[in-house]
Amino acid sequence: MLKVSVKGSQDGSWGLTQSHLKKADYHAAIDTWLKRHKERTILCFVQFKDVSLDQLPKVYLASPQEVASA
């Protein structure tokens, strides 16, 4: 079984590490964010930017490790 974490965006940004950011240390914020996710977690990103009401949003799947390394 996998845990699925769904994140939606209307403006193209995800804001995954904002709550972990201290003194503009982005690498530490990413490391802290990554540690919060278990090995069997998958992230589902749903992008609503530039999508009209009669269209389906774009959906992306990634592991936390893939997101942290991007």
Return the pLDDT at 21: 66
Give the count of domains, the chain: 1
Domain that holds residue 32: 3-69
- Total Cβ atoms within 10 A of residue 58: 13
How do the residues of the chain divide into helix, strand and coil, expressed in percent and rounded to 5? 25, 25, 45
Nearest to 43 by CA among 20, 10, 13, 14: 14
Q: What is the pTM of this model?
A: 0.74
Q: What is the pLDDT of residues 2-58, one digit of tens each?
A: 999 899 888 887 766 566 566 767 778 888 888 888 889 999 999 999 999 999 999
The three-state secondary structure class of 21 is coil
Q: Which residues contact 68 (CB under 8 A, 6 or more apart)?
A: 30, 31, 33, 34
